[in-house]
Amino acid sequence: MIYFDNNATTQILDEVRDAMLPFLSDQYGNPSSAHALGNKARVATDRARKQIATCLGVTSSEIVITGCGSEANNQAIIGTLLNHMDTPGKNLVISAIEHPAVLATAQWACKRFGFECRIAPIKIKDHQIDPQPFLDCIDENTVLVSVMAANNETGVLLPLVPIFKAARSVGAICHTDAVQGIGKIGIKPLEVGADLLSFSAHKFHGPKGIGGLFIRRGIKLESLIHGGSQENGRRAGTEAVPNLVGMGAAADIAQNTDIEAIAKLRDMFEERLLALYGNKVHINFRDLARTPNASSVQFKGQDGNLLLIKLDRQGFCVSTGAACSSGSLTPSKGLMAMGLNQREAAATLRISFSKLNTVAEVEALLEALPKIVKKN
Ligand code: PLP
């Protein structure tokens, strides 16, 4: 099996698993317990929190651990809106290509709580995503602007800095879903002007079932999970110690990811693919700033779902777009929001690399593709 679906999830690194193992066996203490076993867990979770904070260039007290990236996005959006319930006529602004963990949450919360959900369309200008449609949506009634750092389907980076500058000027909270950012673009919330930033361990070689939200010092969010005083009273529940230790180790390693090496592998794939197929393939958004690991490829006139199935039979894991819509027959809404038509979106495969992929694996894929694509 050769794995090229690293935007869906990544393999847990051996170092990460090894760091977790003691906490899955004899180190089973509860970090809130006052005895020695509890203390060991507390030391380990404090260390992990520090590793995550260091990776993001922030302080430990600004990190709230969550059960996943989706929860972090829910906390950011719902937690912000709950602070503005008594002032009617407010709005929030998101992009048209947000992951459902932002899009569905924003739409649900706006409908439920009486806010206007403004969805900024994606326009490409001078080989970059134009911030203007976002600026057009932001006004003095905007309470939250939530824009992803990197798109999960294409790897395309969004222009956070000018958007958040405009948001800040009207006093709105700035949130970025950076689930596809860590380990790929070395994102730092303070550099892009984010007040809130979501992340998820399984996207950067950590375990599933754990993520977190950076909450800039001074920003107050309503909590969603009430109970004990964990996470400084911001998210109740006994810490998932093994997962948190794993996320800390993964964040520590992610800081030193050789991003250029991954980009080299991706670029080699794209160049060889173009040489092989000429204008029968099109690399979507190749001229835009992208994460180094993602390649969104249109096999013109082909059915991406069929290609995925055939590649799977040959032992290759790829995707047709967002993991949650893979296998569905409707082409990706995200790709269409980026300007592709239905046919183009349906012909697209997402090949997403990680530092664990090798040149030999890319060559194997390039060898397998012609047999599959030709027969289709
Ligand atoms: N946001 C983005 C951009 C994602 O790609 C994903 C996962 O695919 C999520 C949020 C959800 O993260 P999680 O799977 O940890 O809930």
Catalytic residue status for 324? yes
The reply to whether ligand 1 has any atom less than 6 angstroms from the CB of 153 is: no
Residue whose pair of structure tokens reads 């230790």 in the numeric block:
245
Q: Are 315 and 357 contacting, i.e. CB atoms less than 8 angstroms apart?
A: no
Give me the sign of the Cα torsion angle 90, 70, 184, 190. Answer: positive
Does the Cβ of 177 fall within 6 Å of ligand 1? yes
Q: What is the pLDDT of residue 88?
A: 87
Assess whether the C-beta atom of 24 lies below 6 angstroms from ligand 1. no
Q: Is 104 in the pocket of ligand 1 (CB under 6 A)?
A: no
- Nearest-atom number in ligand 1 for the CA of 7 is 5
**What pLDDT, on the 0 to 100 scale, is given for residue 376?**
47
Atom of ligand 1 nearest to the CA of 101: 10
Ligand 1 atom nearest the C-alpha of 322 is 8
Please work out whether the CB of residue 206 comes within 6 Å of at least one atom of ligand 1: no
**Is 69 near ligand 1, meaning CB less than 6 Å away?**
yes
Query: Which residue's C-alpha comes closest to atom 6 of ligand 1?
Result: 179
- Within 8 A by CB and 6+ apart from 45, the residues are 31, 239, 241, 244, 245
For ligand 1, atom 8, name the residue with the nearest CA: 8
Q: How far is the CA of 152 from the centre of ligand 1 (A)?
A: 8
Query: Which string of DSSP letters, residue by residue, matches 56-108?
Result: HTS-GGGEEEESSHHHHHHHHHHHHHGGGTTSTT-EEEEETT--HHHHHHHHH
Residue 376 to residue 306: CA distance in whole angstroms: 8
**Does any ligand 1 atom lie closer than 6 A to the CB of residue 105?**
no
Calpha distance 195→134 (Å, rounded): 17
Residues 268-281: tens digit of each pLDDT: 999 999 999 999 99
Predicted pLDDT of residue 375: 52
Q: Which residues contact 328 (CB under 8 A, 6 or more apart)?
A: none
How many helices and strands in the chain, by DSSP H and E? 13, 14
* From 110, 117, 137, 324, active-site residue: 324
Distance 370 CA to ligand 1 centre (A): 32
DSSP states of 167-229: HHHTT-EEEEE-TTTTTTT---HHHHT-SEEEEEGGGGTS-SS-EEEEE-TT-----SS-SS-
| Token couple for 329 | 């027959």
Q: How far apart are CA 148 and CA 175, in angstroms?
A: 8
Ligand 1 center–CA 353 separation, angstroms: 17
Strand 211-215 relative to strand 196-200, pairing: antiparallel
Tokens of 18: 């090894």
User: Atom 7, ligand 1: which residue's CA is nearest?
Assistant: 8
Residue 313, burial from CB neighbour count under 10 angstroms (0-12, 13-18, 19+): exposed
Taking the centre of ligand 1 as the mean of its atom positions, its distance from the CA of residue 257, in whole angstroms, is 20
> Would you say the CB of residue 294 lies under 6 angstroms from ligand 1?
no
Q: Is the beta carbon of 350 within 6 A of some atom in ligand 1?
A: no
Count CB neighbours of 327 within 10 A.
11
For 376, the token pair is: 């289709």
| Consecutive H or E run containing 128 | strand 128-129
Please provide the DSSP assignment of 231-287 as one string.
GGGTS-S---HHHHHHHHHHHHHHTT--HHHHHHHHHHHHHHHHHHHGGGEEETTTT
The whole-angstrom separation of Cα 315 and Cα 239 is 37
Best CA proximity match to 145, nearest among 114, 109, 176: 176
Mean pLDDT by 10 residues, the chain (376 residues): 98 98 98 98 98 98 98 98 93 98 98 97 95 98 98 97 98 98 95 98 98 97 97 97 98 96 98 94 97 97 94 96 56 93 95 98 96 70
Question: Tens of pLDDT along 202-223?
Answer: 999 999 999 999 999 999 999 9
Cα–ligand 1 centroid distance for 37 (angstroms): 33
pTM of the model: 0.96
